[in-house]
Every structure is written in structure tokens, then in C-alpha cells.
Structure 1
Amino acid sequence: MKHILIADDDPHIRALLRHVLLREGYRVTEAEDGVKAEELSRTESFDLAILDVMMPGMDGFALCERLREQEDLPIILLTARDQLSDKEQGYLHGTDDYVTKPFEPEELLFRIKALFRRYLRTANDRIKMNRIVIDRKTAEVTDGETVFLLPLKELELLSQLAQFPGRVFSREELIRLIWGADYEGDDRTVDVHIKRLRQRFAGYEADFTIETVRGLGYKIEVTGR
């Protein structure tokens, strides 16, 4: 269930948003100002944030910037002002979308769903396992400080397992997915590549482990998942 943060000092707007989002099956957490919203963001995990621009304590622009510093999540700014300069400020502070009050709830839902689709595509290119991040676009794996330049097949194998943590892949399935259906070598090549990956990431067992499931194949378990 997607978890959405609503930050708005108008209780009527919060009530409207809560009704619409709960009806769509989202989980909702509310904050009456920017300060409270930032406090919540430090203790809870959100999938998307809807922020009013004009709030006491901390406005939506500042809150948007703070949230961006903590994590990469979709953000929609709500405002009663339809000035181009205001929208420019919103995008400069990191918002993904901008909705002017009064708004149609259905339009807001369309925008929310579009953002989730956009972030899903982006997320598929970046796979995170605690400190370890796999970027399939740049073919790099990093822990935030060190960049691991893996041979192509090792990278593809690690990415395939990491996309589906907890799922067991047989050797035959991995051969087909990574080496191709016309591969004529021994499926033990998977074992060799798994061994190399385990050696490369021997110091990261607190982040993830590559586990052998006897008689079946291999899977990745992400710590704390």
C-alpha cells in the first residue's frame, strides 16, 4: 500500500485529500504545517508527498527542499497562486508537479498515478540494497564511496537477482535470462559467477547476501527488508 504524506494548514483541504486518497486505497498521514511534516519524514517512510506552498513555520518550497535532501520521492506542490514565477520557484526547489487550487480531485489522482509510473521506471534502472546501489544505465555498482566496475555478465546476474529480493532463480532460468536460450556452455558457469560476486562483496553482508537454495538455485536477501 502506497503511503502518502499530506502537508496543508487548511483542514478542509486535508479532509478532501484524505477522503479521495483513502478511497483509492492509499495510506495517508497528515501534517498541519511544514515543521510537523518534516518531523514525520524523519520517522516514517513515504512514497509520495503533497505539500501546500503557503504554510506557517516552514513553507512548501522549503519543505520540498528538505524532503529532497532525505530521499528521492515524488512531490506535488499545491498552491492558490497560478503565477509562472511561483511555479518556477516550485520546480527550482525540487517539486515534480504543481497543482493550482481549486483543483479537481480526479485530476490530482491522475497526476499521482503518473508520478508513480515515472518513478517506477526510474527505480528499475537503480536498484538499492542498503548501501549498495546498482545503476544499470551507467553499468556501475557503488556503495556511495567506492565504484565497483563489474564484468558485464556479473553485473547482469547481480541485477537480475537484486530486482527480485527473496525470489529463487534456478541455474537454468539464470542461464536463459543472462546468457540467452542458445547458450551451449555448462550451467555451472552460474556457480562461478556467483562465487566471484560473493568474493567482491564479502564485506557487505550487512547489506545483502547471495544465498544458495539447495536443489533449486540462488536468491538475494536484502538486510532489513
Structure 2
Amino acid sequence: MPHILLVEDDAALAALIVDYLRAKGYQLSHLSRGDEVLPWLRQQRADLLLLDLMLPGLDGFSVCRLVRGISNLPVLMLTARNQHLDQIDGLESGADDYVVKPVEPRVLLARIQALLRRAQPAPLAELTRGQLHLQRSCRRATLGGQPLELTHSEFELLWLLAEHAGQAVSRDTMLQYLRGIEFDGLDRSADVVVSRLRRKLGDHPKSPEKIKTVWCQGYMLLPEVSA
């Protein structure tokens, strides 16, 4: 759930924004003064800063410049309509984008979504875990230089386990990843795919060493997989 820090001294507008974005699935924190932003960011984490310009304590331009000195946090500014100089100054202060007041909720949501997408790291194209090497674009998997013949679901599940190597991955996470459904306590499809993967990786069926069963948690791929 992305966490947005809203800095707005207009209590009525802030309440509207908070209610709307929470209804859209975002976590919101609210400050009403510009000089509270840096102390807050030093103590807590946010995925995006939604920042008004005219604030008590410290104006939005100054806040943005200070934030840029410590973080690449996406900053979306709230500016007055037709105040083009404010918009230019905001961007030059380090803001990533701006939305004009009065705020159109759907426009605000679209700008937030766009900034959060841009802030996400590019998806990995390759993964290596010891002698196991995975290439996402061509769905190629090799172990010790030898190709593994994997089905689509086998490759996807192996990729998921490799992304979280050394950590247990639950059946619920696996089913959400593979099929977009929750684990109901009965569905064994993830276990079947794990069993096939173990066989293709040369894992011993009774005492597997590459994909381990973690009791009451799920399955874990070792960080260093040997051939």
C-alpha cells in the first residue's frame, strides 16, 4: 500500500484529499506546516510527497529544495490555477509534477499513479542464484550451464522463489502470483509445481536441498543453488 505524505494547511481540502485517496487504497499521513516535513521524513517512510506551496513555517519551494538534498522521493506540488511562475519555480525546486487548485480528484489520482510508476525500479531481466541462472525475457533457465525445460508456470514459480531466495514464500503468495487467487487451504497446485521443479532441479524427493519446505510457512529456494 503506497504511503503518501500530504502537506496542506487548508484543513477542509486536506480532509477531502485524505478521504478520497484512502478510499482508493493509499495510506495517508498529513502535516499542516512546512517546517515539520524534514523531521517527519527522518523518522518515517513515504512513497510520495504531496506538497502545497503556501505553508506556515516554511513554504513549499523551500521544503522541496530541502527534501531534494536528502531524498529522491517523488514530489507532487499543489499550485494555484494560472500561476505559471509558481509551477515553473516548483519544478525548478525539484518537484516532479504539479496539480492546480481547485483539485480535480481524478486528475490528482492519475498524476499520483504516474509518479509512483516512474519511481518503481525497472523489473529484473535476469537472476542468478549460485549455478542457477534465469532470463526473464526469453524464459530461459539453466543450472550449471545446462538448460532446464520448464513450463510457463514452472518458470514463473522458480522466478518468484529466486527473487526471494533465502526467504520462505507462502502458498498464498504463490497462488496469487500464478493464478491471482487466494490459498483456501485445499488447493495443492503450487505444491504440484514445486514438486515438478524439484525433480527438474535434481532435488532429492525425500530430503530436498534446493527448494526446502519451511514448516507452516511455505517453500524457500536456497540463495546458492548448485548443479
TM-score tier, shorter chain, comes to 0.5 to 0.7
> Match for residue 209 of structure 2?
214
Q: Aligned in 2, Cα 1:95/1:185: closer, same or farther, shift over 3 Å?
A: same
Deviation at 1:74, TM superposition (A): 1.3
Counterpart pick for 1:124 among 103, 107, 122 = 122
What does 1:62-73 align with in structure 2 at a 5 Å threshold? 62-73=62-73
Q: Aligned in 2, Cα 1:78/1:180: closer, same or farther, shift over 3 Å?
A: closer
- Per the normalisation by structure 2, the TM-score is 0.59
What does 1:11-50 align with in structure 2 at a 5 Å threshold? 11-50=11-50
What does 1:1-225 align with in structure 2 at a 5 Å threshold? 1-120=1-120, 123-124=121-122, 160=127, 171-172=131-132, 174=133, 181=140, 186-187=145-146, 214-216=209-211, 218-219=222-223
Q: Distance in 2 between matches of 1:11 and 1:95?
A: 23
Q: Percent identity, please.
A: 33
Q: Which moved more, 1:68-77 or 1:10-19?
A: 68-77
**Residues matched between the structures, number:** 158
Measured against aligned partners, the alpha-carbon deviations of 1:122-150 in whole angstroms (never above 9, x if no partner) come to x227xxxxxxxxxx9xxxxxxxxxxxxxx
Q: For 2:102, what is the secondary structure of its paired residue?
A: coil
User: Does the Cα contact within 8 Å between 2:210 and 2:222 map onto a contact in 1?
Assistant: no
Q: Aligned in 2, Cα 1:81/1:62: closer, same or farther, shift over 3 Å?
A: farther
Q: Distance in 1 between matches of 2:131 and 2:143?
A: 14
Q: For 1:49, what is the secondary structure of its paired residue?
A: strand
Measured against aligned partners, the alpha-carbon deviations of 1:70-97 in whole angstroms (never above 9, x if no partner) come to 2212111112252222111111111011
Q: Distance in 2 between matches of 1:40 and 1:184?
A: 47
2:122 counterpart letter in structure 1: N
Deviation at 1:185, TM superposition (A): 6.7
- Name the Cα RMSD after superposition: 3.3
- Per the normalisation by structure 1, the TM-score is 0.60
Q: For 2:223, what is the secondary structure of its paired residue?
A: strand
Q: Distance in 1 between matches of 2:44 and 2:144?
A: 48
User: Does the Cα contact within 8 Å between 2:131 and 2:143 map onto a contact in 1?
Assistant: no
Q: Aligned in 2, Cα 1:40/1:171: closer, same or farther, shift over 3 Å?
A: same
Q: For 1:124, what is the secondary structure of its paired residue?
A: coil
Q: Distance in 1 between matches of 2:80 and 2:60?
A: 12
Q: Quick check: which one's helix share is greater?
A: 1
Q: Distance in 2 between matches of 1:103 and 1:87?
A: 15
Deviation at 1:118, TM superposition (A): 1.6
Q: Distance in 2 between matches of 1:58 and 1:119?
A: 26
Where does structure 1 lack aligned partners over 5 or more consecutive residues?
A: 126-135, 137-155, 162-168, 188-209, 221-225
2:210 counterpart letter in structure 1: G
Where does structure 2 lack aligned partners over 5 or more consecutive residues?
A: 147-164, 168-207, 212-220
